[in-house]
Amino acid sequence: MLLPQLRAQALAANQRIATLGLAIHTFGNASGIDRAGLDGSGTQPIVAIKPSGVAYHSLTAADLVLTRLDGTILEGSLRPSSDLDTHLELYRAFPQIGGVVHTHSEFATTWAQAGKPIPCLGTTHADYFHGEVPVTAMLSPEQVQQAYVRNTGTIITRLFADRNLDPLATPGVLVAGHAPFTWGRTPADAVDHADLLEFIARLAWRSILIGASPDGLPSHIGDHHYRRKHGPNATYGQSC
């Protein structure tokens, strides 16, 4: 069995999104990437992803499907997740990331279905997402017919390119009419961001319900809170 460490990381990420209640039934998926590849050269990265429609409680490391970045299957007897091409598009466009998670968690999906970004209303949000959680444009009929899953990834990466967003500072997105995708340096980080995104989405919904302004937190406060946890001058936590 190829790349047991990558398989273990991807398996743990998939199991955790179910344990955290971020995915019900067989909704959602998690993947990880080994950018060095089998020969260590970095020319042929390999992705491990959940197989389509397999229940989380019965998932094993052997069930995971290994593919190249072009979608060629290297190992696995099951069909990969139906969202594979979105994951691959994100890995191609964001070389900084090592894991991707897709969920249909309740509150984040609610914002996605409304086609609304999640404004940064407080420091809890600002600690983990630098600015609003963006929402994509709706896919066109041509994009759906041509390559729905790949174009889901394309509208995400175009949004980040058009707005000059750093995928590590904004580690997630809402796909309009669909649901959230998150990512991180590792599959475990991607799950953390999915969990945090759901919490932020729930707080924002409740805050607006009782009268919070969608204009959000003043940027000087949000920027300060983000930078105290991230970057070379971070002061949160312990130094190594």
Annotation says 236 is catalytic: yes
| 221 Cβ contact list (under 8 Å, min separation 6) | 123, 126
Among 205, 6, 235, 213, smallest CA distance to 113 is for 205
CA 118 to chain CA centroid, nearest Å: 15
Residue in 128, 192, 226, 236 annotated catalytic: 236
Query: What CA–CA distance (Å, rounded) separates 152 from 85?
Result: 8
Structural Rg of the chain based on CA atoms:
18
Both tokens of 120, joined, read 């940064």
Residue in 83, 127, 215, 223 annotated catalytic: 127
Report the relative pairing of strands 29-34 and 99-102 from DSSP bridges.
Answer: antiparallel
Annotation says 56 is catalytic: no
Q: Which helix (H) or strand (E) holds 5?
A: helix 4-19
The residues annotated as belonging to the active site are 127, 236
